[in-house]
Structure 1
Amino acid sequence: MAVESSFFADSGDDDLLESRNHVFWEAMLDNIRRDGFVRPPQRVLDIGCHRGGLLARIAELWGAQDLWGIEPIGAARARAQLRLATLAGSVRMLSPEQWKLVPDRAMDLIVCHEVLFVVQDLDAMAANIARTLAPGGRAYVVSGCHAENPTWLTWRATFERDNKQVYTHEPLAFMKAAGVHGLVPAVRPLRESGWATYDPTDGVFGYPSVGALLDHQFRHKLLFRLTQT
Protein backbone atom coordinates (compact mmCIF):
# COMPACT_ATOMS: atom_id res chain seq x y z
CA MET A 1 0.00 0.00 0.00
CA ALA A 2 3.02 2.29 -0.13
CA VAL A 3 2.00 5.13 -2.46
CA GLU A 4 2.71 8.86 -2.01
CA SER A 5 0.39 11.15 -4.00
CA SER A 6 -2.23 9.10 -5.84
CA PHE A 7 -2.77 5.45 -6.63
CA PHE A 8 -4.18 6.26 -10.05
CA ALA A 9 -2.25 7.17 -13.19
CA ASP A 10 -4.77 9.98 -13.70
CA SER A 11 -5.14 11.91 -10.45
CA GLY A 12 -8.60 13.00 -11.61
CA ASP A 13 -9.74 9.51 -10.68
CA ASP A 14 -9.24 10.50 -7.03
CA ASP A 15 -11.91 13.17 -7.49
CA LEU A 16 -14.34 10.67 -9.01
CA LEU A 17 -13.73 7.87 -6.54
CA GLU A 18 -16.53 8.68 -4.12
CA SER A 19 -19.22 9.04 -6.79
CA ARG A 20 -18.13 5.74 -8.35
CA ASN A 21 -18.11 3.98 -5.00
CA HIS A 22 -21.38 5.41 -3.67
CA VAL A 23 -23.62 2.52 -4.71
CA PHE A 24 -21.19 -0.01 -3.23
CA TRP A 25 -20.80 1.90 0.03
CA GLU A 26 -24.57 2.07 0.40
CA ALA A 27 -24.86 -1.68 -0.26
CA MET A 28 -22.28 -2.35 2.44
CA LEU A 29 -24.06 -0.06 4.90
CA ASP A 30 -27.42 -1.67 4.14
CA ASN A 31 -25.96 -5.05 5.05
CA ILE A 32 -24.42 -3.67 8.23
CA ARG A 33 -27.78 -2.15 9.14
CA ARG A 34 -29.56 -5.46 8.57
CA ASP A 35 -27.10 -7.25 10.83
CA GLY A 36 -28.00 -4.76 13.56
CA PHE A 37 -26.16 -3.51 16.62
CA VAL A 38 -26.55 -3.98 20.36
CA ARG A 39 -25.78 -0.25 20.34
CA PRO A 40 -24.72 2.04 17.48
CA PRO A 41 -20.97 1.88 16.83
CA GLN A 42 -19.07 4.65 18.59
CA ARG A 43 -15.53 3.79 17.49
CA VAL A 44 -15.14 3.14 13.77
CA LEU A 45 -12.08 2.41 11.64
CA ASP A 46 -11.94 2.57 7.84
CA ILE A 47 -9.01 0.73 6.23
CA GLY A 48 -8.17 2.64 3.06
CA CYS A 49 -10.32 5.62 4.01
CA HIS A 50 -9.07 7.88 1.18
CA ARG A 51 -10.67 11.32 1.75
CA GLY A 52 -13.05 10.16 4.47
CA GLY A 53 -16.27 9.80 2.49
CA LEU A 54 -17.34 6.47 3.94
CA LEU A 55 -16.51 7.54 7.49
CA ALA A 56 -18.54 10.71 6.97
CA ARG A 57 -21.52 8.64 5.87
CA ILE A 58 -21.18 6.35 8.90
CA ALA A 59 -21.04 9.35 11.22
CA GLU A 60 -24.20 10.67 9.55
CA LEU A 61 -26.01 7.36 9.98
CA TRP A 62 -24.96 6.30 13.46
CA GLY A 63 -23.31 9.30 15.08
CA ALA A 64 -19.98 7.59 15.71
CA GLN A 65 -17.84 9.88 17.85
CA ASP A 66 -14.40 8.30 17.46
CA LEU A 67 -13.33 7.97 13.80
CA TRP A 68 -10.11 6.32 12.68
CA GLY A 69 -8.69 5.89 9.20
CA ILE A 70 -5.78 3.99 7.69
CA GLU A 71 -4.68 5.61 4.42
CA PRO A 72 -1.33 5.55 2.59
CA ILE A 73 -1.83 8.78 0.62
CA GLY A 74 -0.78 11.74 2.75
CA ALA A 75 -2.86 14.32 0.88
CA ALA A 76 -5.97 12.14 1.23
CA ARG A 77 -5.35 11.71 4.97
CA ALA A 78 -5.09 15.46 5.40
CA ARG A 79 -8.34 16.09 3.53
CA ALA A 80 -10.11 13.38 5.55
CA GLN A 81 -8.89 14.92 8.81
CA LEU A 82 -10.32 18.32 7.87
CA ARG A 83 -13.54 16.90 6.49
CA LEU A 84 -14.31 14.76 9.53
CA ALA A 85 -13.21 17.21 12.23
CA THR A 86 -16.71 18.63 12.74
CA LEU A 87 -18.47 15.26 12.48
CA ALA A 88 -16.94 13.47 15.47
CA GLY A 89 -15.37 14.22 18.83
CA SER A 90 -12.13 12.51 17.87
CA VAL A 91 -10.59 11.89 14.43
CA ARG A 92 -7.32 10.04 13.81
CA MET A 93 -5.93 9.48 10.32
CA LEU A 94 -2.93 7.13 10.17
CA SER A 95 -0.59 5.70 7.57
CA PRO A 96 -0.43 1.89 7.21
CA GLU A 97 2.86 1.96 9.11
CA GLN A 98 1.00 3.36 12.13
CA TRP A 99 -1.39 0.45 12.72
CA LYS A 100 0.22 -0.02 16.14
CA LEU A 101 -1.33 3.29 17.25
CA VAL A 102 -4.84 1.85 16.93
CA PRO A 103 -5.75 0.62 20.42
CA ASP A 104 -6.34 -3.04 21.18
CA ARG A 105 -9.90 -4.41 21.20
CA ALA A 106 -11.37 -0.94 20.79
CA MET A 107 -13.22 -0.69 17.46
CA ASP A 108 -16.94 -1.42 17.38
CA LEU A 109 -16.92 -1.41 13.58
CA ILE A 110 -14.20 -1.75 10.95
CA VAL A 111 -14.95 -1.16 7.27
CA CYS A 112 -12.80 -1.58 4.18
CA HIS A 113 -13.74 -1.14 0.53
CA GLU A 114 -11.55 -2.47 -2.32
CA VAL A 115 -8.21 -2.44 -0.55
CA LEU A 116 -7.21 -6.13 -0.50
CA PHE A 117 -5.71 -5.98 -3.99
CA VAL A 118 -3.01 -3.59 -2.75
CA VAL A 119 -2.33 -5.56 0.44
CA GLN A 120 0.58 -7.97 0.15
CA ASP A 121 0.23 -9.66 3.54
CA LEU A 122 -3.31 -10.85 4.26
CA ASP A 123 -2.17 -12.45 7.51
CA ALA A 124 -0.90 -9.13 8.85
CA MET A 125 -4.12 -7.40 7.85
CA ALA A 126 -6.24 -10.05 9.54
CA ALA A 127 -4.04 -9.84 12.63
CA ASN A 128 -4.53 -6.07 12.83
CA ILE A 129 -8.29 -6.43 12.47
CA ALA A 130 -8.41 -9.13 15.14
CA ARG A 131 -6.26 -7.09 17.52
CA THR A 132 -8.26 -3.88 17.21
CA LEU A 133 -11.86 -5.16 17.05
CA ALA A 134 -13.75 -4.87 20.33
CA PRO A 135 -15.43 -7.99 21.77
CA GLY A 136 -18.57 -8.53 19.71
CA GLY A 137 -17.33 -6.06 17.09
CA ARG A 138 -17.49 -6.72 13.36
CA ALA A 139 -15.41 -5.89 10.30
CA TYR A 140 -16.92 -5.61 6.82
CA VAL A 141 -14.49 -5.92 3.92
CA VAL A 142 -15.51 -5.50 0.26
CA SER A 143 -13.44 -7.01 -2.54
CA GLY A 144 -14.23 -7.52 -6.21
CA CYS A 145 -10.59 -7.49 -7.33
CA HIS A 146 -9.62 -11.07 -6.62
CA ALA A 147 -8.56 -14.33 -8.25
CA GLU A 148 -12.10 -15.61 -8.88
CA ASN A 149 -13.11 -12.56 -10.94
CA PRO A 150 -12.02 -12.76 -14.63
CA THR A 151 -12.49 -9.00 -15.10
CA TRP A 152 -9.92 -8.29 -12.39
CA LEU A 153 -7.26 -10.11 -14.39
CA THR A 154 -7.71 -7.53 -17.18
CA TRP A 155 -7.67 -4.61 -14.77
CA ARG A 156 -4.57 -5.98 -13.03
CA ALA A 157 -2.63 -5.76 -16.30
CA THR A 158 -3.59 -2.07 -16.56
CA PHE A 159 -2.28 -1.35 -13.07
CA GLU A 160 0.92 -3.22 -13.80
CA ARG A 161 1.49 -1.23 -17.00
CA ASP A 162 1.31 1.87 -14.79
CA ASN A 163 3.94 0.33 -12.46
CA LYS A 164 1.47 -0.13 -9.61
CA GLN A 165 2.07 -3.04 -7.24
CA VAL A 166 -1.11 -5.08 -6.92
CA TYR A 167 -1.88 -8.58 -5.64
CA THR A 168 -4.32 -11.26 -6.73
CA HIS A 169 -5.70 -13.02 -3.65
CA GLU A 170 -8.04 -15.97 -3.40
CA PRO A 171 -11.15 -15.03 -1.39
CA LEU A 172 -10.78 -18.18 0.68
CA ALA A 173 -7.22 -17.15 1.55
CA PHE A 174 -8.54 -14.00 3.21
CA MET A 175 -11.17 -15.98 5.10
CA LYS A 176 -8.51 -18.45 6.23
CA ALA A 177 -6.27 -15.63 7.48
CA ALA A 178 -9.20 -14.25 9.48
CA GLY A 179 -9.97 -17.65 10.97
CA VAL A 180 -6.34 -18.22 11.97
CA HIS A 181 -6.54 -15.05 14.06
CA GLY A 182 -9.70 -16.06 15.87
CA LEU A 183 -12.23 -14.13 13.80
CA VAL A 184 -15.41 -15.76 12.52
CA PRO A 185 -15.47 -15.19 8.73
CA ALA A 186 -18.59 -15.09 6.56
CA VAL A 187 -19.16 -13.97 2.98
CA ARG A 188 -21.96 -12.96 0.62
CA PRO A 189 -22.37 -11.02 -2.64
CA LEU A 190 -22.27 -7.32 -1.87
CA ARG A 191 -25.29 -6.41 -3.99
CA GLU A 192 -28.52 -8.34 -4.53
CA SER A 193 -30.37 -5.99 -6.85
CA GLY A 194 -30.38 -2.58 -8.47
CA TRP A 195 -28.93 -0.96 -11.56
CA ALA A 196 -25.34 -1.46 -12.72
CA THR A 197 -24.47 2.03 -13.93
CA TYR A 198 -21.66 2.04 -16.48
CA ASP A 199 -20.51 4.38 -19.24
CA PRO A 200 -18.11 2.57 -21.62
CA THR A 201 -16.55 5.90 -22.63
CA ASP A 202 -15.55 6.75 -19.05
CA GLY A 203 -12.21 5.49 -17.81
CA VAL A 204 -9.82 2.66 -18.60
CA PHE A 205 -11.26 0.02 -16.27
CA GLY A 206 -13.92 -1.27 -18.63
CA TYR A 207 -15.90 -4.47 -19.11
CA PRO A 208 -15.79 -6.69 -22.20
CA SER A 209 -19.54 -7.34 -22.07
CA VAL A 210 -22.71 -6.61 -20.13
CA GLY A 211 -22.48 -10.13 -18.74
CA ALA A 212 -19.06 -9.35 -17.27
CA LEU A 213 -20.39 -6.08 -15.84
CA LEU A 214 -23.28 -7.82 -14.09
CA ASP A 215 -21.08 -10.68 -12.90
CA HIS A 216 -18.65 -8.22 -11.35
CA GLN A 217 -21.25 -6.14 -9.55
CA PHE A 218 -23.67 -8.87 -8.46
CA ARG A 219 -21.57 -12.02 -8.25
CA HIS A 220 -17.87 -11.35 -7.86
CA LYS A 221 -17.98 -8.21 -5.72
CA LEU A 222 -17.96 -9.83 -2.28
CA LEU A 223 -18.72 -8.62 1.23
CA PHE A 224 -16.76 -10.39 3.95
CA ARG A 225 -17.95 -10.14 7.54
CA LEU A 226 -15.42 -10.86 10.27
CA THR A 227 -16.80 -11.16 13.80
CA GLN A 228 -14.81 -10.84 17.00
CA THR A 229 -15.80 -13.47 19.55
Structure 2
Amino acid sequence: MLAALSAAPDQTAMVGESSFFVDPNDDDLLESRNSVFWEAMLDNIRRDRFGRVPKRVLDIGCHRGGLLARIAELWGGDALFGIEPIPAARARAQLRLASCAKTVQILSPEQWKLVPDRSLDLVVCHEVLFTIEDLRGLVGNIARVLASGGRAYVVAGCHAENPVWSMWRDAFEREGRQVYTHRPLELMGFAGEFGLNPAVRPLRETGWATYDPADNVFAFPSVGALLDHQFRHKLLFRLAQK
Protein backbone atom coordinates (compact mmCIF):
# COMPACT_ATOMS: atom_id res chain seq x y z
CA MET A 1 0.00 0.00 0.00
CA LEU A 2 0.96 3.60 -0.34
CA ALA A 3 1.17 5.31 2.99
CA ALA A 4 3.64 7.77 4.48
CA LEU A 5 4.90 6.00 7.57
CA SER A 6 7.99 6.03 9.70
CA ALA A 7 9.57 2.73 10.56
CA ALA A 8 11.85 3.88 13.37
CA PRO A 9 11.07 1.89 16.52
CA ASP A 10 10.16 4.94 18.62
CA GLN A 11 9.36 7.48 15.94
CA THR A 12 5.92 8.92 15.17
CA ALA A 13 4.81 9.36 11.59
CA MET A 14 3.92 12.99 11.04
CA VAL A 15 1.21 12.56 8.44
CA GLY A 16 -1.29 15.25 9.40
CA GLU A 17 -3.49 14.30 6.44
CA SER A 18 -6.36 11.99 5.60
CA SER A 19 -4.64 10.59 2.52
CA PHE A 20 -1.18 10.16 1.03
CA PHE A 21 -2.50 11.34 -2.32
CA VAL A 22 -3.33 14.85 -3.48
CA ASP A 23 -6.64 13.45 -4.74
CA PRO A 24 -8.18 11.37 -1.90
CA ASN A 25 -10.25 9.50 -4.49
CA ASP A 26 -7.04 7.63 -5.29
CA ASP A 27 -7.44 5.87 -1.94
CA ASP A 28 -10.58 4.21 -3.29
CA LEU A 29 -8.63 2.86 -6.28
CA LEU A 30 -5.73 1.36 -4.34
CA GLU A 31 -7.12 -2.13 -3.93
CA SER A 32 -8.06 -2.53 -7.59
CA ARG A 33 -4.65 -1.19 -8.63
CA ASN A 34 -2.80 -3.45 -6.23
CA SER A 35 -4.83 -6.66 -6.49
CA VAL A 36 -2.72 -8.24 -9.25
CA PHE A 37 0.46 -7.54 -7.28
CA TRP A 38 -1.03 -8.81 -4.02
CA GLU A 39 -2.03 -12.04 -5.73
CA ALA A 40 1.46 -12.41 -7.23
CA MET A 41 3.00 -12.00 -3.78
CA LEU A 42 0.59 -14.50 -2.22
CA ASP A 43 1.20 -17.00 -5.03
CA ASN A 44 4.93 -16.76 -4.36
CA ILE A 45 4.36 -17.30 -0.64
CA ARG A 46 2.24 -20.39 -1.37
CA ARG A 47 4.90 -21.83 -3.67
CA ASP A 48 7.76 -20.99 -1.32
CA ARG A 49 7.41 -24.09 0.87
CA PHE A 50 6.38 -22.02 3.83
CA GLY A 51 6.85 -24.25 6.87
CA ARG A 52 3.40 -23.65 8.38
CA VAL A 53 0.09 -22.00 7.68
CA PRO A 54 0.60 -18.33 8.65
CA LYS A 55 -1.95 -17.65 11.35
CA ARG A 56 -0.32 -14.56 12.90
CA VAL A 57 0.29 -11.90 10.28
CA LEU A 58 1.36 -8.26 10.07
CA ASP A 59 0.94 -5.91 7.11
CA ILE A 60 3.21 -2.86 7.10
CA GLY A 61 1.29 0.00 5.49
CA CYS A 62 -2.01 -1.89 5.66
CA HIS A 63 -4.16 1.11 4.62
CA ARG A 64 -7.82 -0.05 4.80
CA GLY A 65 -6.97 -3.70 5.43
CA GLY A 66 -7.49 -5.17 1.98
CA LEU A 67 -4.39 -7.36 1.90
CA LEU A 68 -4.93 -8.60 5.45
CA ALA A 69 -8.53 -9.48 4.57
CA ARG A 70 -7.31 -11.48 1.57
CA ILE A 71 -4.74 -13.32 3.71
CA ALA A 72 -7.41 -14.15 6.30
CA GLU A 73 -9.63 -15.45 3.50
CA LEU A 74 -6.85 -17.75 2.28
CA TRP A 75 -5.42 -19.02 5.56
CA GLY A 76 -7.69 -17.97 8.39
CA GLY A 77 -6.10 -16.15 11.26
CA ASP A 78 -5.43 -16.12 14.97
CA ALA A 79 -4.04 -12.58 14.98
CA LEU A 80 -3.89 -9.84 12.38
CA PHE A 81 -1.74 -6.75 12.90
CA GLY A 82 -1.45 -3.68 10.71
CA ILE A 83 0.86 -0.68 10.81
CA GLU A 84 -0.76 2.38 9.23
CA PRO A 85 -0.14 6.12 9.82
CA ILE A 86 -3.42 7.50 8.46
CA PRO A 87 -6.08 7.51 11.23
CA ALA A 88 -9.09 7.21 8.90
CA ALA A 89 -7.54 4.21 7.15
CA ARG A 90 -6.70 2.58 10.50
CA ALA A 91 -10.29 2.95 11.67
CA ARG A 92 -11.68 1.43 8.49
CA ALA A 93 -9.21 -1.48 8.63
CA GLN A 94 -10.04 -2.21 12.28
CA LEU A 95 -13.77 -2.34 11.50
CA ARG A 96 -13.32 -4.34 8.32
CA LEU A 97 -11.09 -6.99 9.90
CA ALA A 98 -12.91 -7.32 13.23
CA SER A 99 -14.49 -10.66 12.32
CA CYS A 100 -11.48 -12.05 10.41
CA ALA A 101 -9.36 -13.16 13.37
CA LYS A 102 -9.46 -13.65 17.11
CA THR A 103 -7.16 -10.66 17.59
CA VAL A 104 -7.03 -7.61 15.32
CA GLN A 105 -4.77 -4.66 16.10
CA ILE A 106 -4.31 -1.84 13.61
CA LEU A 107 -1.56 0.36 14.99
CA SER A 108 0.09 3.66 14.19
CA PRO A 109 3.83 3.57 13.43
CA GLU A 110 4.79 4.73 16.91
CA GLN A 111 3.04 1.65 18.33
CA TRP A 112 5.37 -0.97 16.86
CA LYS A 113 6.29 -2.07 20.40
CA LEU A 114 2.74 -3.34 20.92
CA VAL A 115 3.53 -6.17 18.51
CA PRO A 116 5.05 -8.88 20.73
CA ASP A 117 8.60 -10.09 20.16
CA ARG A 118 9.02 -13.30 18.14
CA SER A 119 5.25 -13.62 17.69
CA LEU A 120 4.50 -13.56 13.96
CA ASP A 121 4.53 -16.20 11.26
CA LEU A 122 4.34 -13.76 8.37
CA VAL A 123 5.03 -10.08 7.70
CA VAL A 124 3.97 -8.54 4.39
CA CYS A 125 4.70 -5.11 2.98
CA HIS A 126 3.63 -3.85 -0.43
CA GLU A 127 5.15 -0.68 -1.91
CA VAL A 128 5.72 1.46 1.15
CA LEU A 129 9.52 1.53 1.38
CA PHE A 130 9.73 4.79 -0.57
CA THR A 131 7.73 6.51 2.18
CA ILE A 132 10.06 5.31 4.95
CA GLU A 133 13.16 7.25 5.92
CA ASP A 134 14.59 4.80 8.47
CA LEU A 135 14.92 1.58 6.49
CA ARG A 136 17.23 0.07 9.08
CA GLY A 137 14.62 0.71 11.79
CA LEU A 138 11.98 -1.01 9.69
CA VAL A 139 14.12 -4.12 9.22
CA GLY A 140 14.94 -4.13 12.93
CA ASN A 141 11.26 -4.21 13.78
CA ILE A 142 10.64 -7.00 11.28
CA ALA A 143 13.45 -9.06 12.79
CA ARG A 144 12.13 -8.46 16.31
CA VAL A 145 8.55 -9.58 15.66
CA LEU A 146 9.17 -12.64 13.45
CA ALA A 147 8.94 -15.96 15.23
CA SER A 148 11.48 -18.70 14.62
CA GLY A 149 10.94 -19.88 11.06
CA GLY A 150 8.83 -16.80 10.25
CA ARG A 151 9.26 -14.82 7.06
CA ALA A 152 8.70 -11.32 5.73
CA TYR A 153 7.82 -10.69 2.09
CA VAL A 154 8.44 -7.12 0.96
CA VAL A 155 7.45 -5.76 -2.47
CA ALA A 156 9.25 -2.70 -3.82
CA GLY A 157 9.22 -1.17 -7.28
CA CYS A 158 9.94 2.41 -6.24
CA HIS A 159 13.68 2.12 -5.65
CA ALA A 160 17.01 3.41 -6.90
CA GLU A 161 17.50 0.73 -9.56
CA ASN A 162 14.17 1.41 -11.31
CA PRO A 163 14.64 4.12 -13.99
CA VAL A 164 11.04 5.39 -13.74
CA TRP A 165 11.31 6.00 -10.01
CA SER A 166 13.18 9.29 -10.48
CA MET A 167 10.25 10.61 -12.54
CA TRP A 168 7.68 9.54 -9.95
CA ARG A 169 9.83 10.85 -7.08
CA ASP A 170 10.03 14.30 -8.70
CA ALA A 171 6.25 14.33 -9.15
CA PHE A 172 5.66 13.46 -5.49
CA GLU A 173 8.12 16.12 -4.36
CA ARG A 174 6.42 18.78 -6.50
CA GLU A 175 3.21 17.89 -4.65
CA GLY A 176 4.96 18.38 -1.32
CA ARG A 177 5.20 14.69 -0.45
CA GLN A 178 8.28 13.45 1.40
CA VAL A 179 9.63 10.31 -0.26
CA TYR A 180 12.92 8.44 -0.04
CA THR A 181 15.15 6.58 -2.48
CA HIS A 182 16.52 3.26 -1.23
CA ARG A 183 18.80 0.76 -2.92
CA PRO A 184 17.62 -2.88 -2.97
CA LEU A 185 21.00 -4.08 -1.69
CA GLU A 186 20.63 -1.67 1.22
CA LEU A 187 17.49 -3.49 2.36
CA MET A 188 19.21 -6.85 1.99
CA GLY A 189 22.25 -5.61 3.90
CA PHE A 190 20.13 -4.49 6.85
CA ALA A 191 18.39 -7.86 6.84
CA GLY A 192 21.71 -9.65 7.17
CA GLU A 193 22.76 -7.25 9.92
CA PHE A 194 19.71 -8.24 11.98
CA GLY A 195 20.24 -11.96 11.48
CA LEU A 196 17.69 -12.51 8.72
CA ASN A 197 18.38 -14.44 5.54
CA PRO A 198 17.64 -12.09 2.62
CA ALA A 199 16.63 -13.21 -0.87
CA VAL A 200 15.09 -11.46 -3.86
CA ARG A 201 13.28 -12.25 -7.11
CA PRO A 202 11.04 -10.42 -9.59
CA LEU A 203 7.52 -10.21 -8.21
CA ARG A 204 5.92 -11.21 -11.54
CA GLU A 205 7.22 -13.17 -14.50
CA THR A 206 4.05 -13.66 -16.56
CA GLY A 207 0.65 -12.12 -17.10
CA TRP A 208 -0.81 -8.90 -18.43
CA ALA A 209 0.52 -5.48 -17.52
CA THR A 210 -2.62 -3.37 -17.23
CA TYR A 211 -2.20 0.39 -17.44
CA ASP A 212 -4.33 3.42 -18.25
CA PRO A 213 -2.19 6.30 -19.61
CA ALA A 214 -4.63 8.69 -17.92
CA ASP A 215 -3.31 7.55 -14.54
CA ASN A 216 -1.88 10.66 -12.93
CA VAL A 217 -0.13 8.91 -10.05
CA PHE A 218 2.30 6.51 -11.72
CA ALA A 219 2.85 7.42 -15.36
CA PHE A 220 5.12 5.55 -17.78
CA PRO A 221 6.98 7.10 -20.73
CA SER A 222 6.67 3.94 -22.86
CA VAL A 223 5.31 0.40 -22.96
CA GLY A 224 8.89 -0.83 -22.58
CA ALA A 225 9.24 1.05 -19.30
CA LEU A 226 5.90 -0.33 -18.13
CA LEU A 227 6.93 -3.91 -18.84
CA ASP A 228 10.36 -3.42 -17.28
CA HIS A 229 8.72 -2.05 -14.13
CA GLN A 230 6.18 -4.82 -13.72
CA PHE A 231 8.33 -7.79 -14.72
CA ARG A 232 11.88 -6.73 -13.91
CA HIS A 233 12.13 -3.88 -11.44
CA LYS A 234 9.16 -4.64 -9.19
CA LEU A 235 10.94 -6.87 -6.69
CA LEU A 236 9.86 -9.34 -4.03
CA PHE A 237 12.25 -9.64 -1.09
CA ARG A 238 12.10 -12.58 1.32
CA LEU A 239 13.55 -11.94 4.77
CA ALA A 240 13.60 -15.23 6.65
CA GLN A 241 14.08 -15.68 10.38
CA LYS A 242 16.59 -18.39 11.19
TM-score relative to the length of structure 2? 0.93
- Match 2:67 to one of 36, 54, 63: 54
Instruction: Name 1:14's counterpart in structure 2.
Output: 27
- Match 1:77 to one of 90, 98, 112: 90
Instruction: Name 2:150's counterpart in structure 1.
Output: 137
- Match 2:140 to one of 101, 118, 127: 127
Matched, 1:206 2:219: yes
CA distance in 1, matches of 2:156, 2:139: 14
The number of residue pairs the alignment matches comes to 229
Tell me: CA distance 1:209–1:90, structure 2 relative to 1, closer, same or farther (3 Å).
Answer: same
**Structure 1 residue runs of 4+, over 2 Å off?**
36-39
Matched, 1:65 2:70: no
Instruction: Name 1:115's counterpart in structure 2.
Output: 128
Conserved? CA contact 1:59–1:65, under 8 Å? no
Conserved? CA contact 2:51–2:149, under 8 Å? no
Structure 1 position 202, deviation (Å): 2.8
CA distance in 2, matches of 1:219, 1:106: 33
CA distance in 1, matches of 2:57, 2:163: 33
TM-score relative to the length of structure 1? 0.98
Structure 2, gaps ≥5 residues long: 6-12
Structure 1 position 5, deviation (Å): 1.1
Instruction: Name 1:147's counterpart in structure 2.
Output: 160
Secondary structure (helix, strand or coil) at the match of 1:194 reads coil
Cα root mean square deviation, aligned: 0.8
Secondary structure (helix, strand or coil) at the match of 1:186 reads strand
Instruction: Name 1:42's counterpart in structure 2.
Output: 55
CA distance in 1, matches of 2:221, 2:54: 40
CA distance in 1, matches of 2:158, 2:96: 28
| Identity percentage of aligned residues | 75
Structure 1, gaps ≥5 residues long: none
Structure 1 position 191, deviation (Å): 0.2
Conserved? CA contact 2:117–2:144, under 8 Å? yes
Structure 1 position 38, deviation (Å): 2.8
Higher relative contact order (CA 8 A, sep 6+): 2
Matched, 1:99 2:116: no
Code of the residue aligned with 2:238 in structure 1: it is R
